[in-house]
Chains A and B, each alone.
Chain A
Amino acid sequence: MRLYGAVAASSFRRYATYRVATAAGVFTNTVFGFILAYTFIALWSIRPHLGGYDQAQALTFVWTSQAMLAAAALLGGGFQQELQERIRTGDIAIDLYRPADLQLWWLASDLGRAAFQLLGRGLVPLAVGALCFDLALPSSPLVWLAFLASVLLGLLVGFAVRYLVALTSFWLLDGAGVDMVSGLLCLFFSGSLLPLTVFPGAFGDVARMLPWSAMLQVPVDVLLGVNSGAGLAGSFAFQGCWALVLLAAGRLLQGLATRKVVVQGG
């Protein structure tokens, strides 16, 4: 277990060395935060209580998602491309002959990255948002703690989905198509474009049941206290179940991939 701790720590440090990229990312997230904030203000002044949020909650949604965007890799940028590239070039050979578990290794590395990006890319946009707009941030530290737990569960789900997608590279050497589809699904069904609560009817119900909603929609709802009490337990259970199912599927696929499949390159 200490190995995976070290892997996470070194991944954290690695992302910490990309200072310019971090600064550029913070800038972009903040700018987009403003654009989306004014868009949401326009929307919510026409339709107050859209999706069950008041305007302050909608703005909190905007700035929290900007703060989580990099950590949850909602627009890409996580480990997925790196793992796919290693499979495509055959560098995966090096990971495979080590006495370490491939899935845990990449999970640890991805959590290290996310931890850095939550701090490095998240704090500033959220602080700017809170200074410039009227947000519905909770005052209770317990709610913040629940939020962080929910973010962690969301990271697990996000990792598990992307790990499955990345492993398909063992069979499909050109992963561009799969990447595009999975990127779009993630962008929309995580709630990065619009909160999933605004979609009515069966479509909205289905969208909120899919694993992507565990990555952003659910953690933000936990922060907003929309589903406190029994609802909070429900949120954790929802995220936890998806995490377990998808991580288990990843293990299964990993077993298949490493047993049957060819490592590329000389």
Chain B
Amino acid sequence: MTEAFIELDGVEKVFEVRRRSGRRLRRERCTVRAVDGISFAVPRGEMVGYIGPNGAGKSTTIKMLTGILTPSGGRLRVAGIDPSRERTRLARRIGVVFGQRTTLWWDLPLRDSYALVRRIYGIPEARYRANLERCVELLDLGALLGVPVRQLSLGQRMRGDIAAALLHDPEVLYLDEPTIGLDVVSKARVRRFLREVNSEQGTTVVLTTHDLTDIEQLCRRVMVIDHGRLVYDGGLDGLHAVGESERTLVVDLERELPPIAGVPGARTVRVDGPRQWLAFPAAASAAPIVSAVADRYPLVDLSLREPAIEDVIARMLESGEGRRSAVP
């Protein structure tokens, strides 16, 4: 059995906020349940995706994992340590990237920022050199080392930040939207780098993102959180089953025909001239559907479309809304 490295048991975070109510100047106290009883465990060396809509509670969870926010309830352990109680002790063992913030020093060249990071974590010289060299190479930072951070573009700064979070060989890396604002090439580079860090160093990675391609390319396991609750925790493929997603068969016929009917397990969702779209459950095989169509229709060409993960998750969250509102 693999031992859990990160362990959450019924973790909650309730914010107390004061809001203006109505037109009166009186301010009302109310509470926001940002994280509402979340339990999960992540074994050492795993790379998990942590996704959900805006305001779901992802960043709040990450902050509790780093120890800068104290949970309002439940039990939380990282490497056996209660983060908010022993924040400084844990800090040496974790790396954090908050996409919207920078850990680098605005007026200092990248290189000087790294030198400070080295001092903060007391990284031995040889290890520091090796790690920096690897980061510079894989993240293509060579030309940027002498540039003050304020002169870096968003994507350049982000790559600089990711390197800064890894110089001290953290056991776990929390990434809160690390690919926000990156171009396609930089995204690919960052993903390749993260995959390598995870597989070579065995770094445990918790990744929050709105770019589901990140998840598809990096994580075998994904957790979906909505309104502070975990609504899914499992493999990426399992998402399709839970989300009741459908694949689409696109067929080109010889000529315009009425919508294809009588193919078991499939229904025609769209017709455009000689082209027709048939939807069927993602888990089902396409072969019998293809042969049923080919038997009875003059088939010229066909293609198969996989469901977009965005749609799958959107559907799952919608059905969750439905369930929630059904319960009084």
Contacts and interface: CB of A to CB of B under 8 A. Distances in A.
A266 B107 contact: no
Interface of A: 2-3, 6-7, 10, 13-14, 17, 90-91, 93-94, 96-101, 258-260, 262-263, 265-266
A100 B120 contact: yes
A102 to B, nearest CB: 10
Given A7-B116, A14-B105, A266-B59, A96 B68 contact: yes
Grouping DSSP codes into helix (H, G, I), strand (E, B) and loop, the B interface class, with mixed when no group exceeds half, is mixed
B33 to A, nearest CB: 14
13 contacts: A6-B115, A7-B119, A13-B112, A14-B108, A93-B68, A94-B103, A97-B91, A97-B96, A98-B91, A99-B120, A258-B68, A262-B69, A265-B100
Contact of B87 (A3, A14, A91, A97): A97
Contacts of B59: 266
A113 to B, nearest CB: 12
A59 to B, nearest CB: 37
B94 A94 contact: no
B87 A10 contact: no
B98 A94 contact: yes
Interface in B57-112: 59, 63, 66-70, 84, 87-89, 91-92, 94, 96, 98, 100-103, 105, 107-108, 112
B120 A262 contact: no
Interface in B233-290: none
Contacts of B94: 97
B68 A263 contact: yes
Contacts of A100: 88, 120
B40 interface: no
Given A6-B115, A10-B108, A14-B105, A97 B68 contact: yes
Contacts of A2: 119
- Chain A to chain B: the 5 pairs with minimum beta-carbon distance, closest first: A99-B91, A3-B119, A14-B107, A97-B66, A6-B119
B123 to A, nearest CB: 11
A259 B83 CA distance: 12
Given A6-B115, A94-B96, A263-B68, 15 more contacts: A6-B116, A10-B112, A17-B107, A93-B98, A93-B101, A97-B91, A97-B94, A98-B120, A99-B89, A99-B92, A99-B121, A101-B88, A259-B70, A259-B84, A262-B69
B100 to A, nearest CB: 7
B87 A96 contact: yes
A3 to B, nearest CB: 4
A101 B101 CA distance: 20
Of the listed residues B89, B100, B107, B115, the one surrounded by the most CB atoms of chain A closer than 10 A to its CB is B107
B158 to A, nearest CB: 14
A25 B214 CA distance: 49
Interface string B1-38: 00000000000000100000000000000000000000
Contact of A3 (B92, B101, B120): B120
Contacts of B102: 94
Given A6-B115, A99-B91, A259-B70, A266 B108 contact: no
B69 A263 contact: yes
Contact of B63 (A3, A14, A101, A263): A263
B165 to A, nearest CB: 10
Nearest to B106: A14
Contacts of B63: 93, 263
A218 B222 CA distance: 63
Contacts of B120: 3, 98-100
B101 A10 contact: no
Nearest to B68: A96
Nearest to B99: A266
Of the listed residues B59, B96, B119, the one surrounded by the most CB atoms of chain A closer than 10 A to its CB is B119
Nearest to B113: A10
Nearest to A260: B70
A90 B122 CA distance: 26
Given A10-B112, A99-B120, A91 B101 contact: yes
A90 B15 CA distance: 15
A117 to B, nearest CB: 15
Contact of B116 (A10, A99, A260): A10
A263 B67 CA distance: 11
Of the listed residues B84, B89, B105, the one surrounded by the most CB atoms of chain A closer than 10 A to its CB is B105
A85 to B, nearest CB: 12
A197 to B, nearest CB: 40
Contacts of A260: 70
A23 B108 CA distance: 21
Nearest to A14: B107
A92 to B, nearest CB: 8
Contacts of A258: 68, 87
